[in-house]
Structure 1
Amino acid sequence: MFKEFKEFIARGNVIDLAVGIIIGAAFTAIVNSLVTDLINPIIGLLGGTDFSGWYFVLSGNVPEGASLQAARDSGAAVFAYGAFLSAVINFLIIAWVIFLLVKAVNRVQSAAIRKKEAEAPAAAGPTQEDLLMQIRDELRAQRA
């Protein structure tokens, strides 16, 4: 069983996946900072509003105008739809940034492939005359 586990871990796919998860976690911190520290304030300046504090009380006593955190701390059951809307908006922004990143990486890879193909010599194939002679010889062999 240990041998099988060792073989499983040694596969390239597992190691690639582990590296991808680690880089993804680090990238998540960068994208979250981009959204929280740069994009959301710009949206706020453009007339947007912070949805994260929007809620209504399902049960319990919460003072009028209390923040979402104060309502939660009071033990009341709150329906925090604003936090959900903020999470959806953040997801859409993060998904857009990742889409742009993947698109840029694909463009760079495509350029590298085109460059490599342009530098590679063209494969010399048989000429049209060679192919016609092969067909002629096969037809002669069939008749004989």
Structure 2
Amino acid sequence: MLKEFKAFIAKGNVMDMAVGIIVGAAFTAIVKSMVDDLINPIIGVFTGGLDFTNRYVVISGEVAPGMSLEAAREAGAAIFAYGSFIMAVINFLIIAVVVFLLVKFVNKVKDSAVKEEEAAPEAPKGPSELDVLLEIRDSLKK
């Protein structure tokens, strides 16, 4: 069983997946920071600091008017927290746009690198292996 596990782990696909997960986790932190620290404040300026997080409807229980969502949950009330959902959707859309733009940028850089490789003149090649063999054959005939 240990040998099978080693063979499974040593496969290239598993290692590629592990690297992808690790890089993805690091990338997630970068994108989250970009959205939270750079983009959301800019959007907040245009929307006047509009924040839906504390918007909710009390389904059952006693909650004082104006109480925060966290305080209402701590009071034990059943809460329909539609504001948190709206903010999650907004954050998702922002993250999706940021990731789209990053992928588009990376693809553009990758395409320009490929074009540079294609545009680079190939070094002149010497005679092919077939040419050398034909030359040897001709020499032996003489």
TM score, norm. by length of structure 1: 0.78
Instruction: Please tell me whether residue 60 in structure 1 is matched to residue 52 in structure 2.
Output: no
**Bigger shift: 75-84 or 30-39?**
30-39
2:113, 2:42 → 1: CA distance? 36
What is the CA–CA distance in structure 2 between the aligned matches of 1:34 and 1:105, rounded to whole Å?
Answer: 17
Does residue 53 of structure 2 align to residue 33 of structure 1? no
Question: Between the two proteins, what is the percent identity of the paired residues?
Answer: 64
Alignment of structure 1 residues 1-144 onto 2, 5 Å = 1-48=1-48, 49-121=50-122
State the shift of 1:3 in Å: 1.9
The alignment partner of 2:53 has SS state of helix
Q: Which runs of 5+ in 1 are unaligned?
A: 122-144
Q: Which moved more, 1:13-22 or 1:65-74?
A: 13-22
Name the SS for the 1:52 alignment partner: coil
- Deviation of residue 80 (structure 1)? 0.5
1:47 Cα shift? Answer: 2.1
Counterpart in the other structure of 1:127: none
Q: Match of 1:46, SS?
A: helix
SS at 2:79 equivalent: strand
Q: Match for 2:87: what amino acid?
A: S
Aligned residues: 122
The Cα RMSD (Å) is: 1.6
| Deviation of 1:2 (Å) | 2.0
Deviation at 1:96, TM superposition (A): 1.1
Paired position in structure 1 for 2:136: none
CA deviation digits over 1:41-67, x for unaligned, max 9?
221211251111111101100001100
Cα distance between partner residues in 2 of 1:102 and 1:109: 10
